[in-house]
C-alpha cells in the first residue's frame, strides 16, 4: 500500500522537548506539533512529523520546550493600574481604605480598558493564554480581549453595594445577561457570574443568583474563605461558615470556582468532596495579604481539582504564572511539612490542564492533544539558570523565569515571537501607565489635603 499522502498544515513546530500535559502522555524529546486552522495535530517524533505533513512553514526550536499555554484562573485585569498603589496592609484595610476609594474616584470604562490591555500584554509576554477576569466594566474588558486575541472567562462583578458598574446586585445580573448575549458568538470569550464574596452578597442575592444561573447556565467564580476573619464574621452573622451558606443556597457544584479557600475544616472538606467544586489557589496574593494558606496537598490527596491564579496585580504584584508556580510548589511543601508535596509536573498541570478543567475548558485547551485548540507556548531553556536540563518540568517550575518564554500562540495565531509581542505597542502602553499613575497620584494628594 502506498503511504498516506502528507496533509497541508500552516506551521510545523519541531522542539527539543514537548510537554503535552495529558495524563496519558509523558514528556517527549525531539517531537513536533503542527497547527492547522487554529487546531493542533500531533505530537509526533520529528522524523515522522516531516513525513506526515506538508508545512507552509517550519519552526525549529532546538533548545526549547513546547507546552500548553498557561491558564491564570483568577485575575482582576483592570486593577493592573493599581499595581503598587497600596501595599503591606491586611485585606480589609487594603480594600476599605485604599482600593475601593480609588475605584470610586477613577474607574470608568477607559480606565478598565487601559488596565486590561496592560495586564494582557504582561500575561501574553509571560506565557498565559487563558485568564479568568473579574472586574468592573467587563464590557470594556471584552473589547480589549477581542482586540488582543487572548482567551478569557469574563466573570461579571456582582456585589450588594453600588459600584461604578451597577447600582445593585439585580442590575449586575441584568447586565450579565446583556453581556452574555453580546459575547455568545465570540470564539475566545466565555462568561461567568462573579459574585464578589459571601460577606458582600446577602442571602436574598444568593437566591437571585441561583435563579439566574438556572436560566443562563453559566459557571460561578467567587472569593470564598479568603481569611479567618471572613469565616468568623459569617459564624457571628449567619451561624454558619460561608461555604455551608453557599451549599445551602444550592450554588455549589462542579461549575462553581472557589477562589482562595485558605480556611478549611473537616465540614468544609466534606462539602467540597460532595459537590465537586473547583478550587483556585492564589498563593502569592494570600501570602502578601497574610490571608492564610490553602492546604493544597491535602486537597489533592482527596482528588479535588485545583487551578492556579495570580489574583490582581494590586495584591501580587505581577501576573507571572511561572513565579506563581514556583511559589505554589514551595509553599505546598512548607505548609504540609513534606518535600514530596506538589511536585514540578503536578504544579505545571495546575497551571495548564487542571486550570482549563476548572474553567470548563478542559476539552479545548490546557493540553497539547490532536484536535485541541492551538494555545501553546515555547520556553527557551538555553540560559545559564536552566542548565543543564535533567528534567524539563523541573527546569520550568524551579529554575526558569518568564523572560525565557519565546513564543506564544492563541487559537493558532502568533501572539509572541522571539520574545516580542505581536499586536501590542509596548511603548504606548508604558506612556499610558505613566499618565494614569500621575493622575492617580494627583487625586490622592488632593484627598489628603482636604
Angle 169-183/203-216 helices, nearest 10 degrees?
A: 20
What angle (nearest 5°) sits at the alpha carbon of residue 192, between those of residues 116 and 375?
A: 60
Question: Alpha-carbon distance 423 to 431, whole Å?
Answer: 17
Pairing of strands 128-134, 70-75: parallel
Describe the strand order of the beta sheet including 420-421 as a list of residue ranges.
39-45, 28-36, 7-18, 53-68, 376-380, 405-410, 413-417, 420-421
Q: Least separation, in Å, of the C-beta of 283 and Zn ion?
A: 13
341 closest CA partner among 270, 381, 293, 389: 293
Question: Which region holds residue 88: left if phi is over 0, alpha if psi is between -120 and 50, else beta?
Answer: left
Closer Cβ to Zn ion, 297 or 311, answer by number: 311
Cell of 160: 450588594
To Zn ion, the closest distance from the beta carbon of 312 in angstroms equals: 6
CB nearer Zn ion, residue 103 or residue 311: 311
What does the alpha-carbon distance between residue 365 and residue 355 come to, in Å, rounded to a whole number? 10
Coil, helix or strand at residue 93:
helix
Q: How far apart are CA 222 and CA 204, in angstroms?
A: 16
Shortest Cβ distance from residue 259 to Zn ion (Å)?
6
Rounded to an integer, what distance in angstroms lies between the CA atom of residue 417 and that of residue 233? 49
Nearest to Zn ion of 234, 316 (CB atom): 316
In the complex, the smallest distance separating the C-beta of residue 79 from Zn ion, rounded to whole angstroms, is 9
Which grid cell sits at 204?
A: 436574598
**For Zn ion, which is the closer residue by CB, 9 or 73?**
73
| Shortest distance, position 342 Cβ to Zn ion, whole Å | 21
- Smallest distance, Zn ion to C-beta of residue 197, A: 9
User: How many C-beta atoms lie closer than 10 Å to residue 236's C-beta?
Assistant: 8
Map grid coordinates 490532536 to a residue: 370
User: Cα separation of 349 and 409, whole Å?
Assistant: 19
If the CB atoms of residues 311 and 373 are measured against Zn ion, the closer one turns out to be 311
The residue among 126 and 315 lying less far from Zn ion, judged by its C-beta, is 315
| Smallest gap from residue 413 Cβ to Zn ion (A) | 29
Place of cell 486590561: 116
Q: Which is nearer to Zn ion, 120 or 134 (CB)?
A: 134
CB of 226 to Zn ion, least distance (A): 8
Q: Do residues 172 and 186 touch, judged by C-beta distance below 8 A?
A: no
Taking only Cα atoms into account, the Rg of the chain, rounded to an integer number of angstroms, comes to 22
Applying CB under 5 A, the residues found at the interface with Zn ion are 311
Q: Of 122 and 373, which CB lies nearer to Zn ion in the complex structure?
A: 122
Report the nearest approach of Zn ion to the CB of residue 249 (Å): 21
- Residue whose C-beta lies closest to Zn ion: 311
Choice between 117 and 223, CB closer to Zn ion: 223
Residue 403 C-alpha cell reads as: 523572560
Instruction: Give the integer Cα–Cα distance in Å for 29 and 46.
Output: 9
8 Å CB contact between 267 and 277 = no
Nearer to Zn ion by Cβ, of 11 and 258: the residue is 258
In the complex, the smallest distance separating the C-beta of residue 147 from Zn ion, rounded to whole angstroms, is: 24
- 94 DSSP assignment: I
Could you tell me the three cell numbers for 320? 507571572
Q: Go through 216-227 and write b for each residue having 16 or more CB atoms within 10 A of its CB, e for each that does not.
A: eebbbbbbbbbb
Least distance to Zn ion from the beta carbon of 285, Å? 7
CB nearer to Zn ion: give 52 or 281: 281
Amino acid at each position: 500500500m502506498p503511504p498516506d499522502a502528507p496533509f497541508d498544515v500552516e506551521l510545523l513546530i519541531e522542539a527539543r522537548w514537548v510537554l503535552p500535559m495529558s495524563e496519558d502522555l509523558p514528556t517527549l524529546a525531539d517531537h513536533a506539533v503542527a497547527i492547522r486552522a487554529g487546531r493542533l495535530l500531533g505530537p509526533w517524533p520529528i522524523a515522522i512529523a516531516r513525513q506526515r505533513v506538508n508545512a507552509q512553514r517550519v519552526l525549529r526550536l532546538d533548545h526549547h520546550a513546547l507546552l500548553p499555554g498557561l491558564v491564570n484562573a483568577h485575575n482582576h485585569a483592570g486593577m493592573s493600574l493599581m499595581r503598587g498603589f497600596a501595599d503591606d496592609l491586611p485585606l480589609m484595610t487594603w480594600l476599605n481604605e485604599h482600593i475601593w476609594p480609588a475605584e470610586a474616584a477613577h474607574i470608568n470604562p477607559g480606565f478598565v480598558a487601559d488596565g486590561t490591555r496592560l495586564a494582557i500584554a504582561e500575561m501574553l509576554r509571560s506565557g498565559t493564554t487563558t485568564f479568568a477576569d473579574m472586574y468592573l466594566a467587563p464590557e470594556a474588558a471584552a473589547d480589549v480581549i477581542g482586540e488582543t486575541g487572548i482567551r478569557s472567562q469574563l466573570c461579571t462583578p456582582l456585589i450588594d453595594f453600588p459600584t461604578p458598574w451597577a447600582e445593585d446586585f439585580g442590575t449586575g445580573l441584568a447586565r450579565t445577561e446583556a453581556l452574555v448575549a453580546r459575547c455568545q458568538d465570540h470564539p475566545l470569550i466565555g462568561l461567568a457570574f462573579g459574585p464578589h464574596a459571601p460577606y458582600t452578597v446577602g442571602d436574598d442575592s444568593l437566591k437571585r443568583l441561583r435563579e439566574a444561573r438556572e436560566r443562563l447556565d453559566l459557571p460561578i467564580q467567587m472569593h470564598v474563605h479568603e481569611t479567618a476573619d471572613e469565616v468568623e464574621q459569617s459564624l457571628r452573622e449567619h451561624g454558619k461558615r460561608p461555604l455551608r451558606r453557599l451549599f445551602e443556597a444550592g450554588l455549589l457544584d462542579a461549575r462553581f470556582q472557589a477562589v482562595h479557600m485558605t480556611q478549611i475544616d473537616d465540614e468544609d472538606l466534606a462539602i467540597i468532596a460532595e459537590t465537586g467544586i473547583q478550587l483556585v489557589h492564589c498563593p502569592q496574593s494570600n501570602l502578601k495579604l497574610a490571608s492564610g494558606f490553602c492546604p493544597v496537598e491535602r486537597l489533592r490527596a482527596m482528588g479535588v481539582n485545583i487551578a492556579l491564579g495570580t489574583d490582581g496585580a494590586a495584591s501580587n504584584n505581577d501576573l507571572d504564572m511561572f513565579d506563581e508556580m514556583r511559589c505554589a510548589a514551595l509553599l505546598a511543601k512548607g505548609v504540609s511539612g513534606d518535600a514530596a508535596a506538589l511536585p514540578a509536573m503536578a504544579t505545571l498541570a495546575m497551571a495548564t490542564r487542571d486550570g482549563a478543567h476548572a474553567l470548563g475548558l478542559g476539552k479545548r485547551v490546557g493540553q497539547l492533544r490532536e484536535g485541541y485548540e492551538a494555545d501553546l507556548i515555547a520556553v527557551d531553556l538555553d540560559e545559564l539558570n536552566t542548565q543543564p536540563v535533567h528534567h524539563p518540568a523541573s527546569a520550568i517550575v524551579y529554575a526558569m523565569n518568564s523572560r525565557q518564554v519565546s513564543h506564544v500562540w492563541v487559537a493558532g495565531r502568533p501572539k509572541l515571537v522571539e520574545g516580542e509581542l505581536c499586536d501590542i505597542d509596548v511603548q504606548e502602553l508604558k506612556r499610558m501607565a505613566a499618565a494614569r499613575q500621575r493622575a492617580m497620584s494627583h487625586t490622592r494628594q488632593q484627598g489628603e489635603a482636604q
